Every structure is written in C-alpha cells, then in structure tokens.
Amino acid sequence: MATINQNFLQLQGSYLFSEIAKRRTKFIEENPNAQIISLGIGDVTRGLPEAVTKAMHSAVDELAQSNSFRGYGPEQGYDFLLEAIIQNDYKARGIDLQMNEVFVSDGSKCDVGNIQEIFSQDAVVAVQDPVYPVYVDTNVMAGRSGSFNKEKNQYENIVYLRCDADNNFKPELPSRKVDLIYLCYPNNPTGMTLTKEELKKWVDYAKENNSIILFDSAYEAFIQEEDVPHSIYEVEGAKEVAIEFRSFSKTAGFTGVRCAYTVVPRELKAKDADGNDVTVADLWNRRHTTKFNGVSYVTQRGAAAIYSPEGKEQINSLVDYYMTNAGIIRDGLKSLGLDVYGGVNAPYIWLKTPSGLDSWAFFDKLLGEANIVGTPGVGFGQAGQGYFRLTAFGSRENTEAAVERIRKLSL
C-alpha cells in the first residue's frame, strides 16, 4: 500500500476561516434578519478595469482565428508582458532587470508556496508573526517545520519574528542563523511597511549569513507614501540575496483571473552540497518549466493592458477607491480612541482589540452587536493575539455603514 507524505499530518486545520464561517452561519441562523457586513475576507469587490477587459476581448478574438491562434506559450510569460513589467515596475524606479529574471505565473500564492522546493530540506526558515499562512504551511509539507507546539501555537523548527505594537510591527533580526526569510511588505495582515533603511538591515543580514530573502510584495500598488520602497531591489545589493513576488490580484481585480510574477535575479546564488555556487534563477526556471505550462494568452494580454496609459489611470482609481475605504476605517476607529495600525500604504487595518478582549472575543462582539465580520488576529499567529484585521476591499457604502455601527458600540 502506498504511504503518505507524513509531513502533511503536521499541518494544522485551516481553523481560521472555517471557524469564522461556522460562527457567522450560526449567527445568521439565530438572527435571520441581520444585515451582515463582511470586512474579513481578502478578496476584492470592484470589477476589472475597462482597459483590461477590452484587451482580453480582443485576445479572445485573436484565438478564434487559426492565423492568430496561440497554443502553448512560453512558460515564463510572453515577451510583451515581461517587457511591460520590467519597464514600468522596475526600470521606471531605476532598477534594471533582464527578461530571464522575471517569471509570470498564475498567482503569488503558488509562487510563494512553491519557491521553497528549490532549497534544501534542512534550510532554517524564518517568518514574521503574524504571518500569511501559506509560507508556513508549504514548509510544513516539505518537512522543515518540526512538530507543532500547541501551547506555543507555533512549530518547533520555524523561527518566528514577532511583530507587535512593542516593535512597531518591525521584526528584529533573528538571534539564530536562518537560511530563508519570508518578508511581506506592505504587510498582510498588519498593513505596515518598512523604510529603505530598515529593509537594508535585512539585506545586510542576508549577505552576512548567506540567507535568502523571499520578499512578498503582493500589495505594492497600495503604497501611498513617498519614502516607502516599492521593491526590495531599491536597496543596493539586494539582487544578490532576494527573490521578489508581485501579484495583479489586488491591484487590478485579478483574484479570479489569476496572474502574478516572480523576480529571481541572476546575481542570486545558493550553495550546492559541495559548496559550489548555483544560480537560483536556473533552478527556478527548471522548476517552473517542468511543473507549469504558462498563464493563458488572454490573461497575459489583460495584465499587459494595466500598463497602458488608460490602464494605469484605471488602476490608480481602483487603488484610490480601496485606500479611501482604508482611510474611512482607520480614521473612524482612531476617532473612537482605538489603537489602529496599517491602512496607509496597504488595504489592511490592524487594530488592538479594545478592553483587553482576545481576538475571538472581539470577533464575537463585533458580529453579535454590530453584525460585522472581521478576522481575528490570532488566526495569523500567536503574536496576533489581541489584534484584529479589517479590510478595505468592501464597497464604500458597506465600509461607511460598518464604521457607523462600530461607533455605536460600547468599547
């Protein structure tokens, strides 16, 4: 009989979102007339920009004719999209990239989940706490996590970098040497960012310790403040130590369409078992072309349209819409005296739960008394206990109504 990959048994149930759904369903059963507002999910709600749908329609028409039909495309992405990415997202900010350093994919979730495959099984992994769970779970599947310590709510062999109000959500360098460091900025769930100087500390650490930084920048488009870096490669020398992930999901409403990309600079090296340098981009290219057959032509045409003048304008107004929501939530909660973080350069608002309530107690209060669903911070890791996440991805009407309802609560 076949035996399983035992590491999968180390995974903890996806407790967070199933528990939220369970509590929400129970509440609706008991209160069928309640008008629930959800500020919990990380999905967007606005339609695709017109420039994108136009480009996708005409790509579909091209595919309908044998003389312009496209079948399998390059696994790494079509040149027209790679060029647009390199020119607009990097060159325009003074960063030079080559075509063979960018890999288009069907989402950052897959990329941040798959990247660990090309590193050795004994690599020591560090994650921020609270954390986007995919980084942890994919390393559990690969056998790097050790066992789960229920009391600590953490895996024994993963290095957790605590991010809370005491360090202004900026992790300290690990006390133990680590090999792979997942950093996410602008951060999900806290909505916080690092300055270039702060990012440089991590690049320096990685250089000194031969570590690699896996920099998830899925929310880059939401950065509003001038001094916040858009790419880790703005830090000199970062190409030698960092892989960067970007997604069109939140920027352009691509959560269902699916398109993202990963940058693996040619300068980035890792050691093989004999201590020789290996170009990481070659390994990633090998993995990508073996296990992935490219993003659809229609989708890539849609993604490239984001970089057209109309596309840029439409994306800006999408981002403005969500960031105005973020401001409404942030200012509204601040005016109630709550401790609120994020929401300035990211569509997430992270708040300290009032009256010392734990994350789930606050979830129940918000659902029961204001009929609002949010996300308990502890679901993202132990350091999220006593915090709560709200998202700016709802409609304006619901966002405003939610803040009014919270205003009426006794906190």
Whole-angstrom distance, CA of residue 357 vs CA of residue 270: 45
Q: Does 251 bind ligand PLP (CB under 6 A)?
A: no
Binding mask 211-230 for ligand PLP (x = CB under 6 A): -----x-x------------
The first and second tokens of residue 345, run together, are 């350069």
The first and second tokens of residue 60, run together, are 């579909």
Binding mask 163-202 for ligand PLP (x = CB under 6 A): ---------------------x---x--------------
Which position among 49, 107, 294, 376 is part of the footprint of ligand PLP (CB under 6 A)? 107
Q: Does 384 bind ligand PLP (CB under 6 A)?
A: no
Q: Does 353 bind ligand PLP (CB under 6 A)?
A: no
Residues 271-330 that bind ligand PLP (CB under 6 A): none
Q: Does 104 bind ligand PLP (CB under 6 A)?
A: no
Q: Does 391 bind ligand PLP (CB under 6 A)?
A: no
- 355, HSE (Cβ side, Cα atoms, 13 Å): 8
Instruction: Please report how close the Cβ of residue 221 comes to ligand PLP at its closest, in angstroms.
Output: 12
Residues 114-143 that bind ligand PLP (CB under 6 A): 132
Piece in contact with ligand PLP (CB under 6 A), picked from 74-82, 101-109, 278-286, 330-338 = 101-109
The first and second tokens of residue 336, run together, are 């109630």
Check if the beta carbon of residue 350 is closer than 8 Å to that of residue 341. Answer: yes
67 by DSSP, 3-state: which? coil
Q: Does 244 bind ligand PLP (CB under 6 A)?
A: no
177 by DSSP, 3-state: which? coil
Q: Which residues have a Cβ under 8 Å from the Cβ of 304 and sit 6 or more positions away?
A: 55, 78, 80, 81, 84
Torsional class of 236: left (φ above 0), alpha (ψ -120 to 50), beta (otherwise): beta
- 254, HSE (Cβ side, Cα atoms, 13 Å): 30
Which position among 40, 42, 342, 347 is part of the footprint of ligand PLP (CB under 6 A)? 42
Distances (CA, A) of 210 to 8, 106, 313: 29, 30, 41
Q: Does 109 bind ligand PLP (CB under 6 A)?
A: yes
Residues near ligand PLP (CB under 6 A): 42, 107-109, 112, 132, 184, 188, 216, 218, 247, 249, 255, 260
